[in-house]
Structure 1
Amino acid sequence: MSGTAQYLLAVYILAQRGEPPVAPGAIGDLLGKSPATVTEMLQRLESEGSVTYEPYHGATLTESGRERAATLHETYVTVSWFFRSVLELDEHEAEAMEMAGLVSPSVARRLAATLPYDDPVADRS
């Protein structure tokens, strides 16, 4: 995944788990990156208009950043599910985090079509 896409996805996921702003340390922990690397990328994302960044506090997605991150998250979920269900990878989430920004939405939709879905309605009959 491109660096910016990976960081946007990380901010999005962490923001869903708690209140923004997302601490740089939490981003670094999720991505396995150093504090300096996280700070540099958050500054880049801020200059692109994807996040607002307050040093020592964290990052909050802008509206455009949130839209892009939401699309990345949909792809991440699909790829993760594919890696877990079809390829039976143990590290499916980490692998999906790496791949989500590289997979187009049309490819993600095609992957989703191959996934084994459980039909909860059928299971009740």
Structure 2
Amino acid sequence: MTGASHYLLVLYIKEQQQSPPIPPGEIADTVGKSPAAATEMLQRLDSKGLVSHEPYNGATLTCEGRTTATDLHERYVTLSWFFRDVLGLDTYEQEAMQLAGAVSADVTDRLTSLLLSEEEPE
């Protein structure tokens, strides 16, 4: 996953768990980067209009950022499902997090169709 995609997905998930803004240290811990690196990425995402970043307070997804992050989250959920149920990976969430930004919507749509067809009773 690209750095930007990873940060957007993490922000999306964190915003579902707690009220924004999400502190930069918490974001840094989750993405496995230093606080300085996280702040730099949040500033870049802010300049692109994807997040609203307030130094020391944290970051909040903008409407455009939320739209992008929602799409990434859907891909993440589908990949997690596939890695867990089909491949039997113990690290399915980490694997899905790494690939969510690299897989097209077409691929995840096809995976979803495949997974749903496997669930239907014969």
Alignment RMSD (CA, Å): 1.3
**Are residue 64 (structure 1) and residue 58 (structure 2) matched?**
no
Aligned partners of 1:107, 1:53: CA distance in 2, in Å?
A: 32
User: SS where residue 90 of structure 1 aligns?
Assistant: coil
Aligned partners of 1:24, 1:44: CA distance in 2, in Å?
A: 13
**Are residue 117 (structure 1) and residue 119 (structure 2) matched?**
yes
Aligned to 1:35: 35
Identical aligned residues as a percent? 56
**Are residue 19 (structure 1) and residue 1 (structure 2) matched?**
no
* Displacement of 1:63: 0.4
Aligned to 1:8: 8
User: SS where residue 29 of structure 2 aligns?
Assistant: helix
Runs of 4+ in 1 over 2 A off after TM superposition: 116-119
In 2 relative to 1, CA 41–109 (structure 1 residues): closer, same or farther, beyond 3 Å? same
Aligned to 1:122: none
Normalised by the length of structure 2, the TM-score is 0.93
Aligned partners of 2:76, 2:120: CA distance in 1, in Å?
A: 20
User: SS where residue 100 of structure 2 aligns?
Assistant: helix
* Displacement of 1:27: 1.2
Q: Deviations for 1:38-66, whole angstroms, at most 9, x for unmatched residues?
A: 00100000000000001111000000000
- The count of corresponding residues between Structure 1 and Structure 2 is 119
Q: Deviations for 1:65-114, whole angstroms, at most 9, x for unmatched residues?
A: 00000000000000011111111111111111110000111100111122
